[in-house]
A and B are shown apart, each in its own frame.
Chain A
Amino acid sequence: MLRTIRGRAAAIKWAYFDAAAVEGYTVTQTAGAWRVTGALVPGRVDAFKLTRRPLFFVAPFKGGAWRWEILDYTTNGSTLSATLGPVTTEGSNGLTRATARH
């Protein structure tokens, strides 16, 4: 089963830092495995923070955000392609819970 989430703005986070801003992203789940592709926003990519671990792909929605750990990623400097771990959902109160979309 294929699931797809598309959005305009997301971020790659290292702890509380933004390691990179991502726009025009597409997250897909195929046979349980999550992947994301998107464009890195010029001027909002921190090359050092992208070398840190763990990194998370965080996609906000109204009242919360989806969060995946980035297991592996490739970039050519302007686009991002990454494999992701299980998704969790953050509410606006900052609490994180596992999502049934695992």
Chain B
Amino acid sequence: MASRVRRPDTDVLPISGGDTLTVKRFLTAAEFRELMRASTKPIKMGAATTGDVALEIDPTESGLATVVAYLVDWTFTDYDGRPVVIRDQPPAVVRAALDAIDADSYMEVQRAIQAHDSAMRAYAETEKKMMDGSPRPELISPFAK
């Protein structure tokens, strides 16, 4: 049986301008739950008196939540060349830094991390099918160095 606890490895994703993003290779269950919580908003169903509530994915928050879940560090600097520090910072600080970069840069970060997320989910699916002891697939993150 394969281990259900993954080593907390990171991958480095190169983006434009020579910058890099350091991201978690996989999320833990707690990180995945937080991602789901931050990506959804409750909506009331039917008459208000019934109290029925469903969850709706918020696409804008979902993208940001995915970025915050995976992002560990980056090489970004401010206009004076000083590092914009996010490593070991609380999520609120990381979100504030993401809010402060320009929109094109943010979208590039989000696209790179969403591609990494898709690749790691595909890897995990393939790995699950191979739990019978067959050789593990190669890691297939499209950007990872």
Give residues in A with beta carbon < 8 Å to B. 11, 13-17, 58, 60, 65, 92-94
Contact = CB atoms under 8 A, between A and B. Distances in A.
A15 B87 CA distance: 12
A15 B8 contact: yes
A92 B8 contact: no
B24 interface: yes
Interface of B: 7-10, 24, 72-73, 82-83, 85, 87-88
Contact of B24 (A13, A16, A65): A16
A14 B8 contact: yes
A13 B10 CA distance: 15
3 A-B pairs with least C-beta separation: A15-B8, A93-B83, A16-B72
Given A16-B24, A16-B72, A92 B10 contact: no
